[in-house]
Amino acid sequence: MSEATTLPAASPAEAEVERPLRRLVRAYAESRVALFGLALLLVIVLASLLAPWLAPQNPYDLMQLDVLDGRLPPGSASGDGRQTYLLGTDEQGRDMLSAILYGLRISVGVGVVATLLALAIGMALGLAAGYFGGRFDAILMRIADIQLSFPSILVAMILLALFGQGIDKIVIALVAAQWAYYARTTRGAALVERRKEYIEAARLLGLSTLRILFRHLLPNCLPPLIVVAALQVAAAIALEATLSFLGLGLPVTEPSLGLLIANGFQYLYSGRYWISVFPGVALLLTILAINLVADQLRDVLNPRLHGQ
């Protein structure tokens, strides 16, 4: 602790020697809650990547399910005594732990893919709008404003109502609901950056517009974008879960966490809480971990806090 308190007082020359990445890592590690969030996030990402190898059974291979094991409470042994259902089973005798690991994979996957797509689209549009300005900028921001005045769940519901269900459609709906956040953020940063001297220098060097946009302007617009993207992954996962819970999102063949929760909903009334509660806890921990990491990133990447 004493080290942390003396560091800000270090001479400017010393501070400059430290590489930016190391400074970021050190600043991030100052919050124990944020470190916990990062650890939790790593566990969740690993669990969703390795689900097929970690899960005690393949929950969607009907050969491995035993209907006689249906709706067992957490910790019960299976009928043949070969395994223990740590988190209980659903009505078809599916091990909830396995179902959650597979569901996490789908939820996190959809959230990440949708965020990356929305980021790419919003970033490109925002960069162009901020750099070129003019009519393109005015029209694009008008559209973004109008869209942002509606809640994203309404935008997503409209699209899903029109196009129907499916993993591709929910990704489209999530992208459509979120691109405007990135476009706004990028444009805001680009407007500030494009007036700086390095952009003028790049232009005078005769570099192509594309090169200036993506090699010079973009890297300097990244910090706020990273924060927005981190927060929006959590929002995308929550939105997908909500839509799937309502039966508008993923089809039953792609059981994400939201769908698992919906399946267990009816058993809640009879006290069989685990079918819906445990997938919910998994969803919650995912969203919480991402938000903790994003909050700390926001503080670390905020240039206004650096000088202090």
Partner 1 sequence: MPLFILRRGLQALNVLFVMSLLVFAGVYAIGNPLDLLVDPNATQEDMARAAASLGLDQPLWVQYGRFLARALQGDLGDSFLHGAPALGLIVERLPATLELAVVAMLVAVLLGIPLGLWAGLRPDSLPGKTIMAGSILGFSLPTFWVGLMLIMVFAVQLGWLPAGGRGPTTDVLGVSTSLLTMEGWRHLLLPAANLALFKLSLIIRLTRSGTREALLQDYVKFARAKGLSNVRVVGVHVLKNILIPIVTVVGLEFGSLIAFSVVTESIFAWPGMGKLLLDSITQLDRPVVVAYLLLVVTLYVVINLTVDLLYAALDPRVRLAGARQ
* Site string (274-293) toward partner 1, x via CB under 8 A: --xx--x--xx--xx--x--
Min separation Cβ 141 and partner 1, Å: 13
268 binds partner 1 (CB under 8 A): yes
Q: Which is nearer to partner 1, 127 or 297 (CB)?
A: 297
User: Binding of partner 1 at residue 269 (CB under 8 A)?
Assistant: yes
**What x/- string results for residues 200 through 239 when contact with partner 1 is judged by CB under 8 A?**
----------------------------------x---x-
Q: Could you give the CA distance from residue 78 to residue 72 in angstroms, rounded to a whole number?
A: 9
Of the listed pieces 9-17, 65-73, 178-186, 245-253, which binds partner 1 according to CB under 8 A? 245-253
Count of residues near partner 1 by CB under 8 A: 35
In the list 247, 251, 298, 299, the residue contacting partner 1 (rule: CB under 8 A) is: 247
Q: Which residues bind partner 1 (CB under 8 A)?
A: 146, 149-151, 153-154, 157-158, 160-163, 234, 238, 241-242, 245-248, 258, 261, 265, 268-269, 271, 273, 276-277, 280, 283-284, 287-288, 291
